[in-house]
Amino acid sequence: MANVTENGWEQLWLRYDKKVDAGNGKYFEAAPQLVGFDPENCVVRSALLELSRGVCGMLGMQMKAGDIAKAVAGADQASNGTAAAGADQAGNSATGASAAGEQGKTSGSQAGLVLKKVPEGTLTESGKALKAQGYALCENDGRLEITAADENGLLYGIFHLLRVISCEKSLSGSNVTCNPDNPLRMFNHWDNMDGSIERGYSGRSFFFENDDIVINERTKDYARLMASIGINGVVINNVNVKQAATWLITDRFFEKVVQLSKIFAEYGIKFFLSLNYAATIELGGIDSADPFDERVIAWWKAKMQECFAKIPNLGGFLVKADSEGRPGPFTYGRTQADGANMLADAVAPYGGIIIWRCFVYNCRQDWRDRKTDRARAGYDNFIGMDGDYRENVILQIKNGPMDFQIREPISPLLGGLKKTNQMLEVQVAQEYTGHQIDVCYLIPMFKEVLDFHTYCKPGADTVADVISGRTMGNKNTGIAAVINTGNDVNWTGNYLAAANLYGFGRLAFNTELSAEEILDEWIPMQFSTDAEVLRVVKGILLPSRATYEKYTSPLGIGWMVTPHDHYGCSVDGYEYDRWGTYHRADHLGMGVDRTDAGTGYAQQYNEPNASMYNSLETCPEELLLFFHHVPYAHVLKSGKTLIQHIYDSHFEGYKEAEAFAAAWDGLQGKVEERVFDNVKERFGRQLYNAREWRDQVNSYFYRKSGIEDEKGREIY
């Protein structure tokens, strides 16, 4: 069961240890036939090598690297008669394929594995049209065929096949077509060049150390992990681009940037960098970053020409402007569209895109006037320019209007913007959701976001519709997550946090997957196919978000975390409100009035959402305190008063966390010892944290309200 490689890090769900063969070995007795794919293509080669590695590890079908080279060579001769690339050079894995076979044939009767390229739009066996980066996997009479319109599709098809083997399921009778729902499926790293990670909870960066770029075998394993879940774009550096990171677009780092981006290219992943909007000042020696200044425009044009000429796999750039101290166009009296478009024009000749974040707000606002509302900022700063953005600009919008709280309404910009490319940003890194100490499976939350009806267009109005391009018919759209990885042996600090890493990628590819289906894949791949392990881990993960919510901030109010660190309870701790009034709690009630009578935020939604949130009667209760200031005696639909709900949910949340820890204890001996110990140790810390939250929140509101707990429990 060993899964720590000799290099010192794990393979997570790509561990490829020995599995029970559910009758799949027969597809790999002969070398796979390549039809239409260029065997010299680096992504094709990665796919074949992954196949060989997986089949060898899981089914024990030995084959030397030379044999896959033969397979590649055979295919190459059959398709275009040129010499093949030596797979030996590309890796040293073994493969289940045994001989070159009759390459290029597509005869329906031939058993084995066929990897076939077809034009986009081709109808698959299951009657669907193949899209870019999609694949079909089909089995008939011992012949298994992966059909794809491009190399990414082939790679994802191979990973699908390996997933099935890893879960000890049969490939026989397979007939699926999997097209990606989102064109762009990205991870954003908040890694700094000194090796630290902003909001990182699993060690240091594996991309950077001592203001330099790190490239090693782990980089490749990272790319494999990403490709295995369908990720096709990665931003390697923090959106807060400071000091050395500003120089990533200069000769000082180009050589290593290129090396890194080539590794990504081998796995079909576009390479992105975060940009410092003020680079004209910091690098260019120009005294301005005004997007209308000709010197600024010319500098960026030349810089982008240089970047795209030097970095072959560059997809574009991510920009955080005018937020939390970062520079931006506001300094020059320009709009966010002015800034984004100036950069978009500079990258357009090279097919580049600019992903512009909508996390723009004034963190120095004075909250005491009760009208000021950070939640309003994203919409107020962007909605007026809807339709003014270039085609190669995508606005990246956090799921909620504030900042990745355990419960927030969906940002009204999503589906509020009707003529602008949009991308959803979620946070897999557990900044506000337990720092990868507390268990918190986030996929149920992401599903809620994707399923939300924005009412922007009849029949195609969910967030999933908007970001997939279905609403507007646009193609520069997608989904991004702030990643939760670091250089810890297990990548994510807590082993259970890898469920969020895996789950995000799978969900980004297929937004229809349920949170449970994702676990049904991930648990057998990463831990064990033992039914008890599956039952217990699912029993912990599926309700874990609800549990975390119960023992932290109630009914959508959010925050109440320690300032800056964002772990642990501090009821008045919201760092951008130094008067401690964010939650508006007094002796009578609590909650922020965001109705017409309050900050007016509810009006930012399309109808009927605006009215729904505006009214106390129709506002969903899980968001009650986000939208309304409510007396403690207010009776909820459950029949409980608000204050009793606070007490009860906090006691319940703690008890549930205790039950998770006990359930995990039952897995001793069923999962590897270091996995068991790691999660057990985290549960110990989670219980301490949950108890602190429970007691601090309950005491705070008991003292404010003076209302006793009906159940007479100990509240101080």
Distance CA 225, CA 49 (A): 14
Q: Would you state the structure tokens that stand for residue 321, as one six-digit string?
A: 């402007």
Take residue 687 and report the two structure tokens written for it.
């219980």
- How many residues in the chain? 716
Residue numbers of the site for ligand GCV (CB under 6 A)? 190, 198-199, 238-240, 320, 324, 359, 403
506 close to 229: Cβ distance less than 8 angstroms:
yes
Minimum CB separation of residue 240 from ligand GCV in Å reads 5
Nearer to ligand GCV, 240 or 305 (CB): 240
C-beta of residue 634 within 8 angstroms of C-beta of residue 588: no
Comparing CB distances to ligand GCV, the nearer of 255 and 324 is 324
Q: Which CB, 135 or 359, lies closer to ligand GCV?
A: 359
Give me the active site residues, please. 324, 403, 431
Burial of 716 (0-12, 13-18, 19+ CB in 10 A): exposed
Comparing CB distances to ligand GCV, the nearer of 355 and 661 is: 355
E strands within 111-269? 112-117, 135-140, 143-148, 175-178, 184-188, 208-209, 212-213, 233-235
Task: Give the whole-angstrom CA distance, residue 645 versus residue 652.
Answer: 10
Q: If you search the block for the tokens 């089914």, which residue do you land on?
A: 59
Site of tokens 């770029």: 213
Task: Decide whether 76 or 322 has the Cβ nearer to ligand GCV.
Answer: 322
Q: Using CA atoms, how far apart are residues 302 and 323, in angstroms rounded to an integer? A: 26
Distance CA 265, CA 273 (A): 15
Q: What is the DSSP letter of 328?
A: -
Amino acid at 446: F
CB 94 within 8 A of CB 53: yes
Closest CA to 58 of 97, 93, 90, 19: 19
Minimum distance from residue 574 beta carbon to ligand GCV (Å): 12
Smallest gap from Cβ 244 to ligand GCV, in A, equals 17
CB of 411 to ligand GCV, least distance (A): 13
Both structure tokens of 56 = 């060898």
Residues 6+ apart with CB under 8 A from 152: 43, 132, 133, 232, 268
Nearer to ligand GCV, 187 or 527 (CB): 187
Cis check for the bond before 458: say yes or no (omega within 30 of 0).
Answer: no
> 190 or 582, CB closer to ligand GCV?
190
| Smallest gap from residue 427 Cβ to ligand GCV (A) | 8
Residue 545 CB, shortest distance to ligand GCV, in Å, is 20
The first and second tokens of residue 162, run together, are 């390996």
Nearer to ligand GCV, 13 or 446 (CB): 446
CA distance 94 to 64: 5
Beta bridge partners of 234: 187, 271
CB of 363 to ligand GCV, least distance (A): 8
CB of 320 to ligand GCV, least distance (A): 5
- Interatomic CA distance for residues 349 and 52, integer angstroms: 39
Where residue 133 falls (left for φ over 0; alpha for ψ -120 to 50; beta otherwise) is left
Task: Provide the residue type at 400 as one letter.
Answer: G
Quick one: 239 or 296, whose CB is closer to ligand GCV?
A: 239
Q: Which residues of 549-707 form beta strands (DSSP E)?
A: 589-590, 630-631
C-beta separation of 463 from 450 below 8 A = yes
Q: Output 378 or 444, the one with its CB closest to ligand GCV.
A: 378
Rg (CA), the chain: 26
- Nearer Cβ to ligand GCV (241/518): 241
Q: How many CA atoms lie within 13 A of 362 on its CB side?
A: 11
Least separation in angstroms between residue 493's CB and ligand GCV is 17
**Whether 444 contacts 500, CB under 8 Å:** no
Minimum CB–partner distance for residue 426 and ligand GCV (Å): 11
* Cβ at position 403, least distance to ligand GCV in Å: 5
Give the residue carrying structure tokens 């937004």: 511
